[in-house]
Amino acid sequence: MIRVILVDDHALIRRGLRESLTEAGDIEVIGEAADYGELRQLLRAGGCDVLLLDVNLPGRSGIDVLRALVDEGQGIRVVVLSTYPEDQYGIRALKAGAMAYLNKAADPDTIVQAVRTVAAGRKFVTPEVAQALADSVSTRTGSAHEQLSDREMQTLVLIAEGRKLAEIAERLSLSPKTVSVYRARVLEKLKLSSNAELATYAMRNQLIDLGPGG
């Protein structure tokens, strides 16, 4: 039996994942966490075979959590889940130590397959992530947003989605002043001058999901 821990701050999403994984028959969800603090408590109580980790968590981002686990030598095999496009965020997750990156809209069978593959010690790469990896090793110059830090990328995406400064600060568990600093860095690195230009850049580079339900 593959033991799995779910980390997502939305209870409904955790419930859906739990149901899909449990129906597989060979997977057992042994714990759920809404943030890094709750995950730490679960890990102190015992380990798991695979960790399903959301990117957008309150406080420390999922990528930050992933790096912390790697630095601590936890040896946990991680599948990162996100609403963000696979071709834009998959490489970041894999470089940080993830063994798979999936969009939350992925078919439940694909998520089950990813968990089984990762539990067996192999990486699970979707066609979108594979294409992004191929592009990343090509000789062409990468996109400007590839130089952004994880927090800067989150700030860019949230601004592009139309979130207000206070809302972004609350979402990332940061002060509004700190978010303003990240915004300024993003504008400088991308050579842009306004939130409207940030939104246009994000849409042009498919950094936000414009489909039904956002």
Which pLDDT tens digit goes with each residue over 98-137?
999 998 888 999 999 999 999 999 999 888 888 777 766 6
Tally of domains within the chain: 2
Residue ranges making up the domain that contains 156 = 144-204
| Dihedral Cα 134, 140, 141, 142, nearest 10 deg | -20
At 1-54, the pLDDT tens digits run 999 999 999 999 999 999 999 999 999 999 999 988 899 999 888 889 999 999
Q: Where among 136, 167, 184 does a domain terminate?
A: 136
Whether residue 36 is found in the same domain as residue 86 = yes
Q: For residue 47, which phi and psi values (nearest 5 degrees)?
A: -90, -175
Is 96 among the domain residues?
A: yes
Instruction: Report the alpha-carbon distance of residue 6 to residue 30 in Å, rounded.
Output: 8
Domain end position, chosen among 91, 109, 136: 136
Backbone angles phi, psi at 32, to 5 degrees: -135, 145
| Inter-residue contact 186 to 148 (CB < 8 Å) | yes
Task: Determine if the pTM surpasses 0.85.
Answer: no
